[in-house]
Structure 1
């Protein structure tokens, strides 16, 4: 019985390398290491890049919704948005319909930086998956998206 292909393998015969979660985490660390190093000159973390990308795709998003999209607690989103705002990368603009709420937007500087960062992230993505063929890379991405939706 092949432990990798069987869902009923005895726990005593499972190796760490046979666990999907372990393999995903190792791959994530490898991918993030490239991004962290490449973003270092910009003094930006992957979570901040993700926030900028979400703002680009969802102009006017509320802070609570940004926190959900990033899978972080709302207080963490406050700190993250404060940093982006202090660096003039994001803007809080009062809602016209609910004066108590603020929508989040990219600033022009944020848009410009995000375009640079996307190119860097894409390069890191390709470096991280260099051992895969284009077809394998597409399949891996498809399967990971499927896991995220389940």
Structure 2
């Protein structure tokens, strides 16, 4: 005999646009940081799509620019990603013509990472895009509030 399906209690309608929240989550800094990060990153992701890049790849390019010859393992640690994921990311950056891996003379097993000339030019554009995206995504804040927020965030992670 077939079981009769039970009806779900009043479930949320997929069209329902009300915010789903919990009072305890409104008091948890990590949750608020994550929600804000998602909003800011989603805005940046949309802007970077034209370049076929993601925020982590933009971050990698900026770190490579500031640290030419950076080793793959160092970059992976800075980005908090596993070495195999770093290889995938560098393959992508190389395929786009933005970065180069050059064998180190002292240790022929190691490669330094550098921006290509194209990478340098594209990164200039990306920095402007990232700055404007950041300002647009945080438009609810005044300039003073943005400065204060950055100061407080730096205080947490530095």
Report the TM-score, using the length of structure 1 for normalisation: 0.87
Map of 1:56-75 to 2, 5 A cutoff?
56-75=65-84
**Deviations along 1:95-144, whole A, 9 cap, x unmatched?**
12222211000001111111111111000111122121212111110111
Q: Distance in 2 between matches of 1:18 and 1:131?
A: 20
Q: Distance in 1 between matches of 2:155 and 2:99?
A: 31
Q: 2:52 aligns with which of 36, 43, 49?
A: 43
* Structure with greater helix share of residues: 1
SS at match of 1:91: strand
**Deviations along 1:67-98, whole A, 9 cap, x unmatched?**
00101011100110011111111001111222
Q: Which residue of 2 aligns with 1:105?
A: 114
Asked whether 1:118 is paired with 2:118, we answer: no
The alignment's C-alpha RMSD in Å is: 1.3
Q: Distance in 1 between matches of 2:45 and 2:96?
A: 18
Q: 2:34 aligns with which of 14, 20, 25?
A: 25
Q: Distance in 2 between matches of 1:133 and 1:31?
A: 16
- Residue 14 of structure 1: how far off its partner (Å): 5.5
Structure 2: stretches of 5+ with no match in the other structure: 1-21
Q: Which residue of 1 aligns with 2:151?
A: 142
Q: Which residue of 1 aligns with 2:137?
A: 128
Structure 1: stretches of 5+ with no match in the other structure: 1-12
Q: Distance in 1 between matches of 2:45 and 2:74?
A: 25
Q: Distance in 2 between matches of 1:75 and 1:45?
A: 17
- Residue 16 of structure 1: how far off its partner (Å): 1.2
